[in-house]
Structure 1
Amino acid sequence: MNKKNSPTKGEMKTLKFHYWSKRITQGAALLSVLSLSSIAPLTAIAADASAKDQPKIVQLTQPRFPIAIDNQGNGWCLALHAISVKDGSFPNLMVKAPSLTNVKSISQNEHGMILVLKNDGTVWTVERTAENEQPDHKEHISATLGEQIPHLENIVKVDTFGLFGLALDKNGKVWIFETAPSYVKNDPSISLKTEPVLVEGLDHIKDLMISNDYYDVTFLKEDGTVWNIDAYNPWGSKKPLYDSFRFNKPVQLENLKDIVQLKNNHFAIKKDGTVWNWGRTTAFSENQSFQEVALTPAAPYQVDEISDVVDVSSNFEHVLFVKKDGSVWGKGYFVEKWEALGIEPQTVWKDLFKLDGIADAASVNINNYYSPTESIIKKDGTVWMWGLDNFSKFVDKPQQVEFRS
C-alpha cells in the first residue's frame, strides 16, 4: 500500500500541518466569524425562488466539494462555474445529477474519493470533473455515477478514508477494501486495488466510523456498546493500515453504553442526548493543540453542559452541536476577526455557547479539509452554508444554498 496510508509520527505531523496551513491560507477562518456574540439571522432568499421547487435535503458532504442527497434519493452536485446564483444565496450553486438516483447515503474522503450507497444495498463510485480539466460550459454537472464495487451486497453503511473503505451489511458484518492512489496524478477517479473481504471477529455491528486522524476505526454494536481498532504507532510501522484494520482485534471502550450515533473525531451521542468524546486527538480544552497525537488515548468522557443533542460535527479547532430544539451550540477555538488571505487569523477560545440567529437546524457539517466551509440542514430540508466557497469568496454568515434542477 502507498506509504501515505501508514504514516510515521513525523509524517502525521506533516499531514496535520498540511490540513491546517492550507485551510488557513485559503481562508481558514470559516465559521469563526460566527463564533463571537452573534450571527445575523437566517433570512429567506429572493421571493421568486419558489419553495416547492427546492428539494428537501437530508444529507450533505463536503470534504472537497459538496454533494447532497434529497428525500427522494436524488443526488445534487456542485455546478460548474458557468452558472451564476441568485443574489443573497451562497455562491456554490447545486444542480441535480441525473445519474445519481435511488441514493441512500454518500461517503467522501480527503483524497476526493466519493462512494454512494444505493437503496438496493449496492455501492458505487462517483466520477467528477478533474480539478485541472477545463469543463464544457454547456455542461453543468460536475459528478456522475461511476462503477459498482463488486461483491458488496445488502450494504447499509459505507465509509472511506485514505486508501481504503469499510462497508457494513444488513447482517452486521463489516467488509474492507483497498483503493489505488490515482489521486496523486490529480485524477479524481479512484480504482479498486483489492476486492472487498470480510473483517473477521466483527458481528452485530450497527454503525462504523473511520477516524479523521487516520489511525483508528470505531464500531457501534446493536447493544449500544462501542468497539475500537487502534493502529497508531508513534515510531512508525511498515504494516499497512489496511492490514491493521483487517486483522487487529477490536477492543471495547469502557463507559460507552446506550450509544445511538457515532460522529467524526471520536464523538458519540447517547440515547439520553448526552455527548461523549475520546481518543488520541481529543483536545477540546483551552491551551491544547488539536494537531498533536497523544501517546495514550483519552478515555471516554461526557462533554459538559450539553444535552438533548441530535447531531455533532467537528474539525481540528472546534465542535458544533445541534440540539433537539434546533439550536446550534459551539465550543473550541474560533477566529475572532477575518484576516486577508494568506494571513493566519487570531483565534480565541470559547466555552460552550449558543450561536445566535440559527434556528430549526436538523444537522450540521464542518468541513475538515481544504476550503473551510460549514453548513446546516434545517428541519424544512433547506441548506445554509458559510465560510470559503469554491470560488475563493468568503461568506461570513449563513446563506441559503440554491438548488436548481
Structure 2
Amino acid sequence: MEIKQRGKPLFKTARLLTSLMFLLVVILTMSVTSHALTPWYASVGAHIVLLNPDGTVWCIGSNNHGQLGIGKTDSDIHEPVMVPDLRKVMAVAAGATHSVALLRDGTVWTWGGNEAGQLGIGNRMGSKIGSPQPVQVDGLRDVIAIASGRNHVVALKKDGTVWSWGSNFSGQLGLDSGGTADQPVQTAHLDGVIAITAGAFHTAALKKDGTVWSWGFNGNGQLGNGTCENYNIPVKVAGLGSVVAIAAGNQHTVALQNDGTAWAWGSNHASQLGGDSSSLMSLTPVQVSGLSGIIDITAKVNHTFALMKDGTVVAWGDTGSRQWGNGVSMGGSPIPVRLHGVSSPVSIAAIGNPDTLVKGRNSASIANALQSAGNHNDQAVNRDNIAFADASRFFRY
C-alpha cells in the first residue's frame, strides 16, 4: 500500500478488495443545487430517515447503533418512529450506521454509530453506539447543505466553504493529510462551493463557476480526473463546465449541465453511466446517451435518475433482477428508460439499494406508507397515490 500527499496517489488497493468493500455498504448520496429540492428521504438499506414537510424526522429499520435517534437501541423497528425533540429540519442524510439532520437555523445534528468519528462531536468512541439520540455538531453554523458517505459527513456553509468529519481512509475529507477527524474540519484548497454530494468513500463539490471538484477514493475513476488514484485534496473533474447539479452513487458521479445534458463518470459495471455498456468504467465524464431537457438528477448505488422538464422521470443502470417503475425487470439498462406511472414529480431521491423512490405531487402520510410497505413484504401496495413494496421493487411516494 502506498501513501502519498497533495495530489499524488494516496492508496493503491486491489480491485477485488475494492469490489468487496462496496458490497458491504449501501449509501445514499444527495446534492442540493439552485433548482434541486431539499433532500427529504435518506437510507443505506438497514435504516431509513424521513423528513416530514412539518420539519419533523421519522425513522424505521435497524437500530442496533442507535441510528433511529429514539434514545435507545433495538435490533429493528418495523414501524416509523419520530425522532424526539428534533424540529424545523430542512434536510436529512444517512450513513452506514449514523443519521444526520440539518436544521433551518443552520445547525447540524447527528446520531447513531460513531466508530469513525462520524457524529462530529469530538469524542470518538470505540463502541458501535455513539449516541442513540441527536447531538449537535459543535462549532458548525450557517450550514445550507449536508451529504453523507459510509462513515463520513460533509457540510456546506453559506460562505461557500466545505467542512467534513469522520473516516478519511481514502482521503474523502479532503484534508491534505491522512487521519480520521471527529470534529468538523475545513476541506483544503476549496471555496466558492454551491453544492455537495458524497459517494461511499468519495466526495464532490460544485463551484459557482460551474466546475466540479472531487476527492477521496478513485478506484473506478469516480473522481473524473483521468486517473484511478485516490486524492486527499480536491481535484478538478476534466472537461466539465456550466454544471448546475451533481450527484453520486457508490462508485460513480453524475453532473447536470445548464444545457440540460447529463454527464457521468466512474464505475459502469452496471451501466450506470448511461453510455457504452461494454466499458466497465470511465475515468472522465461521458455524456448520457440520447438524453436532453433534464432539470434535476440523482444517483443511488448502481443507477441514476433524471427529472425531465416535461415532468417525467427516466432511469438507467442496475436494479439486479428487480423492477424499475415501468413493469420491466432488467439486470441493467445503459439506455435511459421512462418510469411509467410517475407523472409530474416535484422532486427525485435515491435511497439504499435496491430500493428506489420518486416523490409525486400527491402523497399520503409517511407513516402509513411505510407501514404498508412493511406489512406486505413482497406485495406491491397501492393506496392514496402510493405504490410501495419491500426492498426488492420500485416504489413511489
Q: TM-score range by the shorter chain?
A: 0.5 to 0.7
Alignment pair present for 1:175 and 2:163 = yes
Residues 272-294 of structure 1: CA deviation (Å, up to 9, x unaligned):
322111224565446558xx6x5
> Which of the residues 208, 218, 233 maps onto 2:204?
218
1:98-177 mapped onto 2 (5 Å cutoff): 98-109=84-95, 111-127=96-112, 145-177=133-165
What CA distance in whole angstroms lies between the structure 1 residues aligned with 2:283 and 2:167?
31
Question: SS of 1:223's equivalent?
Answer: coil
Q: Relative to 1, partners in 2 of residues 1:350 and 1:168: Cα closer, same or farther, differing over 3 Å? A: closer
| Structure possessing the higher radius of gyration over alpha carbons | 1
CA contact (8 A) 1:334 1:349 kept: no
Change (3 A) 1:280 1:194: same
- Counterpart CA distance in 1 for 2:244 and 2:334 is 28
Aligned pair 1:300/2:285, yes or no?
A: yes
Question: 2: distance between equivalents of 1:174 and 1:225?
Answer: 15
CA distance in 2, matches of 1:348, 1:150: 43
**Deviation at residue 220 of structure 1 after TM alignment:** 0.5
Are the aligned partners of 2:298 and 2:348 in contact in 1 as well (CA < 8 Å)? yes
Cα-to-partner distance string for 1:342-388 (whole Å, 9 max, x where unaligned): xxx9736463222222212122333334xx322111134558989x9
Name whichever structure is richer in helix by fraction: 1
Alignment check: 8 A CA contact 2:106 2:143 kept:
yes
1:325 and 2:331 are equivalent in the alignment: no
Q: Which one of 261, 271, 296 corresponds to residue 245 of structure 2?
A: 261
Aligned position for 2:40: 59
Q: Which runs of 5+ in 1 are unaligned?
A: 21-56, 81-91, 129-142, 182-191, 235-243, 339-344
- Secondary structure of 2:55 counterpart: coil
Instruction: Output the CA distance in 1 between the equivalents of 2:274 and 2:103.
Output: 36
Distance 1:353 1:366 in 2: 16
What does 1:185-334 align with in structure 2 at a 5 Å threshold?
A: 194-212=182-200, 214=201, 216-232=202-218, 247-248=232-233, 250-265=234-249, 266-281=253-268, 283-285=273-275, 287-288=277-278, 294=281, 297-334=282-319
> Structure 2: which amino acid aligns with 1:256?
L
- What is the TM-score normalised by the length of structure 1? 0.62
TM-score (norm 2): 0.63
In 1, are the aligned partners of 2:165 and 2:185 still within 8 Å (CA)?
yes
CA contact (8 A) 1:267 1:278 kept: yes
Task: Give me the CA root mean square deviation.
Answer: 4.0
Name 2:21's counterpart in structure 1: 15
User: Partners in 2 of 1:162 and 1:251 — Cα distance?
Assistant: 21
Letter in 1 for 2:196: L
Kindly provide the amino acid, as one letter, of the partner of residue 41 in structure 2: L
Letter in 1 for 2:50: A
CA distance in 2, matches of 1:358, 1:380: 11
Amino acid at match of 2:19: K
Q: 1:93 to 1:308 in 2, by over 3 A?
A: farther
Deviations 1:146-167 (A, max 9, x none): 1111111111122222332222
Aligned in 2, Cα 1:316/1:116: closer, same or farther, shift over 3 Å?
A: closer
- Cα offset, 1:172, TM superposition: 0.9
Displacement of 1:115 in angstroms is 0.8
The size of the alignment, in residue pairs, is: 301
The equivalent of 2:355 in structure 1 is: 373
Q: Which residue of 1 aligns with 2:331?
A: 347
* Contact 1:99-1:144 within 8 A present in 2 as well: no
1:376–1:226: structure 2 CA closer, same or farther, 3 Å change rule? same
Please give the alpha-carbon distance, in whole angstroms, between the structure 1 residues aligned to 2:267 and 2:332.
23
Distance in structure 2 (CA, Å) of the matches to 1:116 and 1:16: 25
The answer to whether the 8 Å contact 2:43/2:93 transfers is: no
Cα deviation 1:325-344 (Å, max 9, x = unaligned)? 22122223456678xxxxxx
Helix, strand or coil at the partner of 1:150: coil
Contiguous gaps of at least 5 residues in structure 2: 1-10, 27-37, 63-77, 114-130, 170-179, 221-229, 324-328, 389-397
For residue 214 of structure 2, give the secondary structure of its aligned residue in structure 1: strand
Query: What is the aligned partner in structure 2 of residue 83 from structure 1?
Result: none
Determine the C-alpha separation between the residues in 1 that align with 2:188 and 2:165: 14
- Asked whether the 8 Å contact 1:337–1:346 carries over to 2, the reply is yes
Q: Distance in 1 between matches of 2:142 and 2:219?
A: 34
CA drift of 1:102 comes to 0.9
Of structures 1 and 2, the one scoring higher in RCO (CA 8 A, sep 6+) is 1
CA–CA separation in structure 2 for the residues paired with 1:337 and 1:228:
31
Per the TM alignment, residue 208 of structure 1 is displaced from its structure 2 partner at its CA by 1.4
Aligned partners of 1:157 and 1:337: how far apart in 2?
A: 32
State the Cα distance separating 1:254 from its structure 2 match. 3.1
Task: Give the Cα–Cα distance (whole angstroms) in 1 for the partners of residues 300 and 211 of structure 2.
Answer: 25
Q: Summarize the Cα distance change of 1:177–1:170 in structure 2 as closer, same or farther, 3 Å threshold.
A: same
2:53 corresponds to:
71
Q: Residue 341 of structure 2 corresponds to which residue in structure 1?
A: 357
Measured against aligned partners, the alpha-carbon deviations of 1:107-135 in whole angstroms (never above 9, x if no partner) come to 111x121111111111111359xxxxxxx
Asked if the contact 1:58/1:377 (under 8 Å) is kept, the reply is no
**Counterpart amino acid of 1:163?**
N
SS in 2 for 1:12: helix
